[in-house]
């Protein structure tokens, strides 16, 4: 009853038993992108410009996928004005990290190798779910993500609304597919799902899912 990993295209092989599953996104830095970054950095003599090039590379090819979606906040006080609105997540990259990579940009190849080997073993999940029939639930994820990927490709920048399901499970699945395809732009080929078969009673399924989400804080689909 151990864990098993499946690529996005392999979920038809997942067990159709009760259990827990978690999705991960495997970052894939390409040799072409790394080589271009190294070339641009080595052509520069300004430390500040070199740092900016590395920072932009990391943001574009790595960190942008893990930004939190904006939060809606409201502030008020007794006999005071009320303030409300959306705030964006701003990630701060260590300046020492940037400076080391700009000084030795070929280390980006080592970063690529490590990321490829470390995910999903040393990565936070992007989604956690509990299902009575794992394969059916995972195939539902795949179907919805595929649908939205096609819509995104044909939308040409148009905003596509979040679909609604008829049940709580369907709404969660729609929201996850929407975040994957429309919000974060994840490539399905880089998605991996980890499954663990467990004898789960349907009466506690949502409670287990809630607790696992609150402990692990996945990017998508929190309860």
Nearest to 221 by CA among 126, 147, 142: 126
Sign of CA dihedral 155, 156, 161, 165: positive
Is residue 177 a contact partner of residue 151, using CB atoms and an 8 Å limit?
A: no
- pLDDT at residue 165, as a whole number: 67
- pLDDT at residue 193, as a whole number: 97
Q: For residue 182, give the DSSP letter.
A: I
Give me the tens of pLDDT residue by residue for the chain, a chain 223 residues long: 678 999 999 999 999 999 999 999 998 899 999 999 999 999 999 999 999 999 999 999 998 888 887 888 999 988 889 999 998 878 788 999 999 999 999 999 999 999 989 988 888 899 999 999 999 999 999 999 999 988 877 765 555 666 776 677 788 888 999 999 888 889 999 999 999 999 988 888 889 999 999 999 898 876 6
* pTM as predicted: 0.85
Cis peptide bond upstream of 127, omega within 30? no
Q: Is residue 179 classed as helix, strand or coil in its secondary structure?
A: helix
How many C-beta atoms surround the C-beta of residue 56 within 10 A?
12
Q: Is residue 71 classed as helix, strand or coil in its secondary structure?
A: strand
Residue located via tokens 């990579």: 101
Is residue 209 a contact partner of residue 223, using CB atoms and an 8 Å limit?
A: yes
DSSP secondary structure of 40-53: HHHH---HHHHHHH
Round the CA-based radius of gyration of the chain to a whole number and report it: 20
């Amino acid at each position: 009853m151990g864990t098993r990993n499946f690529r996005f295209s392999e979920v038809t092989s997942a067990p159709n038993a009760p259990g827990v599953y978690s999705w991960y996104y495997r970052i894939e830095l390409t040799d072409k992108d790394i080589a271009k970054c190294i070339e641009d950095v080595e052509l520069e003599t300004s430390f500040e410009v070199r740092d900016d090039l590395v920072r932009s590379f990391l943001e574009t090819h790595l960190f942008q996928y893990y930004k939190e979606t904006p939060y809606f906040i409201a502030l008020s006080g007794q006999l005071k004005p009320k303030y409300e609105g959306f705030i964006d997540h701003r990630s701060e990259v260590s300046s020492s990290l940037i400076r080391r990579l700009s000084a030795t940009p070929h280390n980006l190849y080592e970063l690529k190798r490590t990321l490829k080997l470390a995910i999903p073993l040393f990565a936070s999940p992007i989604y956690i779910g509990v299902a009575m029939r794992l394969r059916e639930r995972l195939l539902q994820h795949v179907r919805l993500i595929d649908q939205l990927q096609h819509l995104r490709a044909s939308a040409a920048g148009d905003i596509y609304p979040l679909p609604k399901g008829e049940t709580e499970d369907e709404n969660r699945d729609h929201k996850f597919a929407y975040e994957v395809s429309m919000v974060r732009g994840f490539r399905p080929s880089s998605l991996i799902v980890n499954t663990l078969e467990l004898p789960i009673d349907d009466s506690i399924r949502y409670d287990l899912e809630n607790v696992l989400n609150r402990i692990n804080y996945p990017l998508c689909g929190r309860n």
